[in-house]
Amino acid sequence: MLRRARHPDPARSGGAEGLDPVLAGEMTRIGVVRNPQSHGNRIRPPGPAPEDVRLVEPIGREALKAALDDFARTGLDLLVIDGGDGTVRDVISLLPHTFGEATPLLAVLPSGKTNVLAIDLGTAEGWRLEDALRAARRENPTIKSRPPLRVSWADDKPCLQGFFFGVGAPVKATNLAQRVHKVGFFHNFAVALTIGTAALGALFGGSRDEWREGVPARLVLDGEAQGEGHRFAVILTALKRLPFGLKPFGAPREGLKLLDVDAPPRRLHKALPLMLSGKTVPALEGLGYRRRDPSAVSLSGGAPFVLDGEVFDGGDLTIHLGPPLRFLVG
């Protein structure tokens, strides 16, 4: 019989990993949101869901919201997201508008191209629906908690939630990655190729090169305005682990983490390997490479931003952590 997870004590849910101490009861209400067009599902089509599992394959935000509204009305103990990072972002962005504070336990099937959240959670690369259901049957399944980034516009557009946000070079790298995927490179190799190509452009381009010139971005951290000017990159995450062990934010830790790099980047050939390895080098701060752990970030200037693999129009933005989400991982 499947086990149902009660909502944990908020004091115990702030990102701790391991066995959830409050699992109890029967987990009988299970829903699956599947993206059949995700990379993994196209090359390895999944089979039908069990009869007692409610499967939806919505196309577009409105259809997805309607499906989640229906799940919320009838109640859900486990919501399985079968798709890539973009599908995860779309689902968790709608959770506050559908489930409110009564968010169900989540499980992510790594069916996309890069699956950054699944890498951070330690989900097995080939994890499928049947594996998630077996994990839910265990007496003490492993639950991990992650607070998403919540991105809000000043003009009251619906907020977005995700785990990896970037302005400047990350947007250019994302546009490049889409071309890489079209050529046929996926998963960690695609990430490596994108980072490598972006690094070469930034290293060897002139100050007016598209990789180095940066974008206008006014940054305010916890109410304190930062230096004016163009920025090579502003990157935020709530993740603890990135592909290939990259550590641009320093040592892995809980909470909101930010990397702010001036444009054009100075001594990038020396700074880049130090930043990506997570080393703390005080001299880098004076060169325009700043790591911070803010509680809230305000960003304006109009530059587009990327959130979990998709580029969105910029504006006057506020970014902070949303309530932690709980993920079944094994």
CB atoms within 10 A of CB 118: 23
CATH 3.40.50.10330 holds for 30-147: yes
- HSE-up of residue 273 (Cα within 13 Å, Cβ side): 2
Facing residues of 108 across strands? 81
Mean pLDDT calculated for residue range 204-216: 68
Q: What is the DSSP string of 189-214?
A: HHHHHHHHHHHHHHHHS-TTSTTTS-
Domain spans of the chain, in order of start: 30-147, 164-307
Q: Are strands 224-225 and 305-307 parallel, antiparallel or unpaired?
A: unpaired
**Strand, coil or helix: 57:** coil
Per-residue pLDDT band at 15 (split at 50, 70, 90): very low
Question: What number of residues does the chain have?
Answer: 330
Enclosing H/E stretch for 188: helix 187-204
pLDDT per residue over 272-287, tens digit each?
Answer: 889 889 999 999 999 9
38/223: higher pLDDT: 223
Residue 65's Cβ-count burial label (10 Å; 0-12, 13-18, 19+) is middle
Would you identify the CATH topology of the domain 164-307? Tumour Suppressor Smad4 (2.60.200)
Question: What integer best gives the mean pLDDT of the chain?
Answer: 83
Q: Of the candidates 81, 137, 135, which has an alpha carbon nearest to the alpha carbon of residue 104?
A: 81
Q: How much is the pTM?
A: 0.82
**What is the percent of the chain where pLDDT is above 70?**
81
- Contact in structure between 170 and 195 (CB atoms under 8 Å): no
pLDDT per residue over 30-58, tens digit each?
Answer: 999 999 988 777 888 888 889 889 999 99
Per-residue pLDDT band at 201 (split at 50, 70, 90): low
Q: What pLDDT was estimated at residue 184?
A: 42
Residue 51: which residues within 8 A CB-CB, separation 6 or more? none
Distance CA 315, CA 292 (A): 22
Task: Sheet with 53-56: list strands edge to edge.
Answer: 17-19, 142-146, 325-328, 105-110, 78-83, 30-34, 53-56
Q: Which two tokens stand for residue 299?
A: 């960003």
